[in-house]
Structure 1
Amino acid sequence: MAPTLDRRNFLGLAGASAGAAALAACGGPSTSGGGATTDASDIDFTGVKPAGSFDFWTSHPGKSQDVEKAIIDKFQAKYPDIKVNLITAGANYEEIAQKFQTSQAAKSALPGLVVLSDVWWFRYYTNGNIIPLDGLIKQLDFKMDDFQKSLVDDYKYNDKQWALPYGRSTPLFYYNKDHFKAAGLPDRAPKTWQEFGEWAPKLKAASGASYSYMYLALAGYAGWTLQNNLWGWGGSWSNGWDLNCDSAESVAALQWAQDSVYKDKWAGVSSKNAADDFAAGIASATISSTGDLLGVLQSAKFNVGVGFLPGGPKKDTGVCPTGGAGLGIPSGVSKEVQMAAATFLKFMTEPESTAAFSAATGYMPIRKSADMAAVLAKTPQIKTAMDQLAVTHVQDNARVFLPGADQEMAKAAAKILTQQGDVKATMTDLKTTLDGIYTKDVKPKLKS
């Protein structure tokens, strides 16, 4: 059994496998003290002039390429001496992480600014791949008091700021208002999964959809969204460092999910993208990222509703994880490139930019003063995501800090939901696997 330790005692994953695929979407570690330290903490940018150009690596989270280009155009109108090269460095957070790590190892061309998922940034810190932003924040006068504190704090460690929030999200419950109306159901998200279980047969009978509910594609972020189910039943992937994914509560949560597919036959599992399946009318409801909101609203031929994530029999609030990505500056580029990237980072995170980014994607506005009035008038559903931020829950250590754990969770979920595998046995095997990762890659990095 792994000892229950506070996150403040976590020292890092410097020895973790570079190829381990821990997918995105987590509330990063709320930690202080301990950990790897580097001379980078003392970088002095006094007198440094920004480079004439730098590469910005992004996966265009939330289909944001157009708005990224628009923000860059405005930046270059204000700063004509700094050219931002927008580079598609991957189709998702995992691909961009792998490309960044490969470039580090090969000492090849590195970006000046990189989109990094909340799962990966801490690994970059322990490996010395990114710099602390504090000196640049002070020198360029970032208005840090105006940032959403909970989102900024996700990237703090050792009293240093290692990234700033960018495409931040929570999962949302999406539902087809027309299907709900046809079934005589309330125009709202269910308060609990048990309530939805009562609604599901009516939905299937009245809607004509193949499924009342579609689970997220398991190759995607199953480990992220299934925390909602686990927490609602009083379970989790882990409690601190106590790996309890095989607890009675966790097993009961996933048994209920399996029964919804095989026994009750009203739920399905997306083969590729649950949000797309929902928008196509294949399912009456799903859970997906707030970053999918604009795309769903544009694609769907029906009235779309959104709501908070449902609770469960043990817990009906605080069952929603945060997620998404931030922006970091690599250590392996010149100070001039770092200064140019920081100048753009400041512009990218200013209220006008973050409001435009949120309007185009559905991601959270990261600045308190961002004027969202026009956005909310056009897309009032975004307010639900903003409101839900107040009842989010920090992610389980097992998903955040164990390299490759997210893939292992996805494999276990696939066995349970697409192969009707025995839930208890599958979760017991998963615990064994997670224990092995913990013992090999994490325990040696924990403060005694």
Structure 2
Amino acid sequence: MTFRPGVRGLDRRAFLGLTGAVGVGAAVTACGGPIVTKNGSGTSSTIKPPDFSGVKPASKITFWTDNPGSSQQVTQQIIDKFTAQTKIQVELVTAGSNYDQIAQKFQTARVGGGVPDLIVLSDVWWFRYYLQGSIIPLDTALTAAGIDPDDYVPTFFNDYRYGGHQWAVPWARSTPLFYYNKNHWRTAGLPDRAPMTWEEFSEWAPRLQSVTGRTGAQHAFEYTSSVNTPAWVDQSMLWGEGAALSAADSFKLTIDAPEVVSVFQRIQDNIRVHKWAIMAGSNEANDFSAGAASATWGSTGSSVGIQKTATFEIGVGFLPGGSKVRQPVCPTGGAGLGIAAQSSPAKQLAAAKFIAYLTNAENTVTFGEATGYLPVRTKVDTAALRKANPLVGTPLEQLARTRSQDWARVFIPGADTAMTQSITQICNSGADVHKTLTQLQETVQGLYTRQVEPKIS
């Protein structure tokens, strides 16, 4: 069976160049980074992809990653097979525990030396590297490596397109899912499915909470922890109510809009008034696996780990809709692969060949089986993947119901961190919702004014 999603992702690369990165403004200027304009045109048309004519791939490259989805072992297995076939050695380096740490280390290496040849980057972080001029356009590299762009899932591949060039290739891509404990569901007498809407779950939650003595659960639901990225999934609840963190395809912030305040007030009430929900302390997936919560939401990249550690039957479903919008309310996430500009042509070519192998039809399934991430190629047999991971069918189907994230979160440096702090105050400290979101609006507006607006003309 060939996997072909029904819809293409929105082509939002035309405006990614509008944003900068925390602490990289000086570096962009010093390195002669792309000049960007309000319509995202900039000087991309003058960028010339490397010429690999006559270039022979290097015998060794370095790959920096955070091993998304506990993927170090399976990635190393793929590397070993690649080396056996091509004689190209790939040094796998754990350069951080998350994308932020890798970005900081990469920034330091660009100045002090020791940059990797290949680097993992998130779908909402790659433009930081682009603005620095620290990754190459991959057009000629993909051709030299024999990669057919049309063979990738369009919604993933197009995320890294800007100014007529391709800047990364999708690798460990995901969507959030609604996870539920089927044992708790049965005890509470609920239908064996995820709720269609949050209104429906709010009716179910007291029933789940009322049987905690029999299920051992402490709460009916756990929201994303403060150490993860709560604003990523919280957007789905906003979208369901026709709200957003910023106006569509715009930097016009709407963080303190009445509809947004209403959603976060509901979240706070579920935690502090109704007391059937909680914001996870460290990792909602681990708490759910331990049976401490009847339900949670989390990345598909957590599905394999949850299945390995949970002692109960797991159910999954699409993210619930809201009272105004049922679908699409699901954001995508995950990581891609970029090639360093400071690397030599020979190493860049070797890196491209490794990308081709790492993300080919066979290995994208192998990677998905081990981690829970979704296949990034279209021509794959999902039957094997579904057999290895019974939960994967749901996110594959949910791909057609995804939407691009709000500019306020993903295109303004530092905004997501500020949002996490505010959401944590609302959930854990009982902070006044309207006042907190008004202050957050001012903070994010300041970040935009200082770090984004000066870079656009």
TM bracket, shorter-chain basis: over 0.9
1:32 to 1:69, Cα distance in 2 relative to 1, 3 A: farther
Using the alignment, how far apart are the partners of 1:244 and 1:129 within structure 2?
33
Q: Note the alpha carbon deviations across 1:330-368, whole angstroms, 9 max, x for none.
A: 101111111111110111111001010111111110001
Q: How many aligned residue pairs are there?
A: 429
Q: Residue type of the partner of 2:240?
A: G
The answer to whether residue 229 in structure 2 is matched with residue 224 in structure 1 is no
Matched, 1:390 2:400: yes
Shift of residue 41, structure 1, vs aligned partner: 2.5
Q: Where does the alignment leave 5 or more consecutive residues of structure 2 unmatched?
A: 1-11, 26-37
Partner of 2:70: 63
Aligned to 1:24: none
2:173 pairs with one of 144, 168, 174: 168
Map Cα deviations across residues 288-336 of structure 1 (whole Å, 9 max, x no partner).
Answer: 0000000000000000011000111221111110001100001011111
Alignment partners' CA distance in 1, 2:50 and 2:118: 17
Does residue 55 of structure 2 align to residue 48 of structure 1?
yes
Q: For residue 446 of structure 1, report the CA deviation from its aligned partner.
A: 3.0
Contact (CA 8 Å) 1:10, 1:34: kept in 2 or not? no
CA distance in 2, matches of 1:131, 1:259: 48
Are the equivalent residues in 2 in contact too, given 1:40–1:131 (CA < 8 A)? no
CA contact (8 A) 1:36 1:126 kept: no
8 Å Cα contact 1:172/1:289 also seen in 2: yes
Greater Cα offset, 359-368 or 227-236 = 227-236
* Structure 1: distance between partners of 2:365 and 2:16: 35
| Distance in 2 between residues matched to 1:344 and 1:148, nearest whole Å | 19
Question: Take 1:121 and 1:7, find their aligned partners in 2: how far apart are those partners?
Answer: 11
User: Which residues in structure 2 correspond to 1:287-326 (within 5 Å)?
Assistant: 287-326=297-336
Alignment check: 8 A CA contact 2:134 2:341 kept: yes
After superposition, give the CA deviation of every residue in 1:267-305 in whole Å (9 maximum; x if it has no partner). Answer: 011111000000000000001000000000000000001
CA distance in 1, matches of 2:51, 2:394: 42
Q: Which residue of 1 aligns with 2:162?
A: 157
Moved over 6 A (4+): none
User: Equivalent residues in 2 for 1:260-339 (5 A)?
Assistant: 260-339=270-349
Partner residue of 1:364?
374
RMSD: 1.7
| Whole-Å separation in 1 of the counterparts to 2:203 and 2:24 | 45
Any idea what SS the aligned residue of 1:172 has? strand
Work out the CA distance in 1 between the residues paired with 2:138 and 2:46: 13
Instruction: Give the letter aligned to residue 78 of structure 1.
Output: Q
Displacement, 1:40?
Answer: 5.2
Aligned partner letter, 1:130 = I
> AA paired with 1:120?
W
SS state at 2:184 partner: helix
Cα distance per residue 1:236-278 (max 9 Å; x no partner): 1111211001101101110010000001000011111000000
Give the secondary-structure state (helix, strand or coil) at the position aligned to 2:48. helix
Amino acid at match of 1:75: F
Letter of the 1:45 partner, please give it.
F
Structure 2 residue aligned with 1:420, among 430, 435, 456? Answer: 430
Aligned-residue offset at 1:444: 2.4
CA distance in 2, matches of 1:252, 1:280: 31
- What amino acid is the match of 2:281? S
Q: SS of the counterpart of 2:189?
A: coil
For 1:192, the aligned partner's letter is T
Deviation digits for residues 84-129 of structure 1 (CA, Å, limit 9, x no counterpart): 00111111111111111111122x1111111011222101101101
Q: Is the 8 Å Cα contact of residues 13 and 161 (structure 2) preserved in structure 1?
A: no
For residue 233 of structure 2, give the secondary structure of its aligned residue in structure 1: helix
Structure 1 residue 182 corresponds to structure 2 residue 206: no
Please give the TM-score of this superposition, normalised by the length of structure 2. 0.91
TM-score of the aligned structures, taking structure 1 as reference length: 0.93
In 1, the alpha carbon distance for the partners of 2:13 and 2:445 equals: 17
Residue 193 of structure 1: how far off its partner (Å): 0.8
Partner of 1:97: 103
Q: Partner amino acid for 1:98?
A: Q
Aligned with residue 443 of structure 2, among 429, 433, 441: 433
1:23 equivalent in structure 2: none
